[in-house]
């Protein structure tokens, strides 16, 4: 028998630059489309990280959204025949995904977070925070009581605020704060889509600057910018479509988080907690504040870089945090 190392593997024929004709002529069912799209995405080496974990999931996302259905598809839907119009739409979405490196959620305007669907476009980050798992667990075991007032800092699309509203349905109100007017427009669309205008209140503020000084929250949740300058310059092309304002956080990735730590306690009720995501800037944060007992959350569904601090802990280390910013003054 010949040594397998000596076998010549023929070069595989690559996908055509324009796949629309091939796709329309040869695809028949939803399953055909997903299988083809998966191979196309793998060959094109797209970057995943905006809500899907595999090229199959990404392909399923694009195909199902293109035919106005929710992913994933059940076995019956997979065998459904596609019309020529549907196949053209799918092919064009795939080519935009590959050629322009646009994340699937921006191409479809649809994203899911904590089991809820949200409208997104390039004015906001695509929802993907592991904080969704904390919301579904009612922030237990960290939050000891039912929150009446919640602050979602750096709200973006409003996904965290709206998911909290869905979890806490009785007597809870939520302020959704962002510095970006563009982001708040998207947030307002999502609030209206869920009929939560009397529960979730979006308004513009540079962190705590526009929050009334007598306001006290039972829970503050933050998913602020936390990408350091080195990482930002070396991120995959897909991230270039997201707003830089929502990603960039100085040389160490902590420029926003430090300000939050310096001011949060002024706006917290007793027995309240601060939940904040810092991603891979966790190392820099621990090096900056080695004495602080950050409670790092362990997630069953993947993800890390989220810490919890109690009101008492923020007070205990207030002097240490204060060098990075004073209490935000109401204008």
CB 296 within 8 A of CB 176: no
Does residue 204 contact residue 166 with C-beta atoms inside 8 Å? no
157 & 261 share domain:
yes
Q: Give the residue from 88, 108, 128 where a domain finishes.
A: 108
Question: Does 318 share its domain with 183?
Answer: yes
In a domain, 329, yes or no: no
Of the chain, the end-to-end C-alpha distance in Å amounts to 82
Residue 313, CB-side half-sphere exposure with 13 Å CA sphere: 16
Kindly state whether residues 101 and 157 are assigned to the same domain.
no
Question: Of the candidates 87, 108, 129, which is a domain's last residue?
Answer: 108
Enter the DSSP assignment of 298: P
- At 328, is the pLDDT very low, low, confident or very high (cuts 50, 70, 90)? very low
d(CA 317, CA 307): 15
Determine the pLDDT at residue 1.
Answer: 46
Evaluated on CA atoms 254, 255, 261, 262, the torsion sign reads positive
User: In degrees to the nearest 10, what's the CA dihedral of 31, 82, 23, 62?
Assistant: -60
Q: Which residue has the higher pLDDT, 222 or 3?
A: 222
Written as six digits, the tokens of 14 are 């690559």
Residue 278 has pLDDT above 90, yes or no: yes
Cα 49 to chain center, whole Å?
Answer: 9
The verdict on residue 242 lying in a domain is yes
Residue at which a domain ends, from 60, 81, 108? 108
Mean of pLDDT values over 291-305 = 94
Burial class from Cβ neighbours inside 10 Å (0-12, 13-18, 19+) for residue 155 reads: buried
216 shares its domain with 296: yes
**Domain shared by 115 and 180, yes or no:** yes
% of the chain at pLDDT higher than 70: 94
Same-domain pairing of 139 and 287: yes
Start-end of H helices in the chain:
20-26, 30-44, 55-66, 75-78, 84-99, 104-108, 131-136, 159-167, 181-193, 229-233, 255-263, 282-288, 311-316, 318-322
User: Both tokens of residue 150?
Assistant: 């919640």
Q: What is the CATH number of the domain that holds 135?
A: 3.40.50.150
- Give the pLDDT confidence of 71-110 residue by residue, as tens digits: 999 999 999 999 999 999 999 999 999 999 999 999 999 9
Residues 260 and 242 in one domain: yes
115 and 104 share a domain?
no
Whether 15 is covered by a domain: the verdict is no
| Per-residue pLDDT, 221 | 98
- For the residues 242-264, what does the mean pLDDT come to? 94
Choice among 102-116, 249-263, 314-328 with the minimum mean pLDDT: 314-328
Is residue 280 domain-shared with residue 196, that is, in the same domain? yes
Q: Is residue 331 in a domain?
A: no
Given a cut of 50, is residue 329 above it in pLDDT? no
Q: What is the pLDDT of residue 82?
A: 98
Tell me, yes or no, whether 14 lies in a domain: no
Is residue 328 one of the residues assigned to a domain? no
At 3, is the pLDDT very low, low, confident or very high (cuts 50, 70, 90)?
Answer: low
- Looking at per-residue pLDDT, the higher value among 7 and 162 belongs to 162
Residue 6 lies in a domain: no
Q: Express each pLDDT in 16-35 by its tens digit.
A: 889 999 999 999 999 999 99
Burial class (CB in 10 A: 0-12, 13-18, 19+), 87: buried
Together in a domain, 71 and 147 = no
Q: Are residues 131 and 256 in the same domain?
A: yes
Number of structural domains, the chain? 2
pLDDT, average across residues 155-171: 96
Give 4 or 50, the one with higher predicted confidence.
50
Q: Which domain holds residue 26?
A: 20-108
Cβ–Cβ under 8 Å, residues 163 and 152: no
Task: Specify whether 278 is located in the same domain as 132.
Answer: yes
In a domain, 10, yes or no: no
């Amino acid at each position: 028998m010949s040594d397998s190392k000596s076998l010549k593997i023929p070069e595989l024929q690559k996908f055509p630059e324009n796949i629309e004709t091939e796709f329309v002529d040869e695809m028949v069912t939803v399953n055909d489309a997903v299988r083809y799209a998966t191979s196309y995405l793998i060959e094109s080496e797209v970057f995943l990280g905006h809500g899907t974990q595999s090229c199959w999931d990404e392909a399923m996302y694009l195909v199902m959204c293109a035919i106005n259905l929710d992913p994933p598809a059940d076995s019956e839907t997979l065998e459904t025949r596609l019309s020529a119009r549907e196949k053209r739409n799918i092919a064009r979405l795939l080519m935009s995904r590959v050629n322009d490196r646009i994340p699937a959620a921006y191409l479809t305007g649809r994203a899911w977070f904590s089991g809820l669907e949200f409208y997104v476009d390039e004015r906001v980050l695509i929802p993907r925070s592991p904080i969704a798992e904390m919301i579904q667990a009612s922030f237990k075991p960290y939050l000891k009581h039912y929150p009446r007032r919640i602050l979602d800092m750096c709200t973006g699309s409003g996904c965290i605020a709206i998911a909290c509203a869905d979890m806490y349905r009785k007597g809870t109100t939520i302020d959704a704060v962002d510095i970006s007017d563009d982001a708040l427009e998207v947030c307002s669309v999502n609030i209206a889509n869920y009929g939560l205008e009397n529960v979730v209140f979006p308004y513009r503020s540079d962190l705590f600057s526009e929050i009334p000084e007598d306001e006290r929250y039972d829970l503050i949740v933050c998913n602020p910018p936390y990408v350091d300058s080195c990482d930002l310059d070396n991120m995959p092309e897909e991230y270039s479509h997201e707003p830089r304002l929502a990603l960039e956080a100085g040389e160490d990735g902590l420029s926003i988080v430090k300000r939050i730590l310096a001011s949060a306690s002024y706006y917290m009720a007793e027995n309240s907690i601060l939940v904040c995501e810092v991603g891979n800037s966790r190392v820099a944060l621990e090096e900056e504040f080695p004495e602080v007992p950050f409670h790092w959350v362990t997630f069953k569904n993947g993800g890390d870089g989220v810490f919890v601090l109690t009101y008492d802990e923020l007070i205990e280390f207030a002097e240490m945090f204060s060098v990075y910013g004073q209490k935000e003054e109401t204008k």
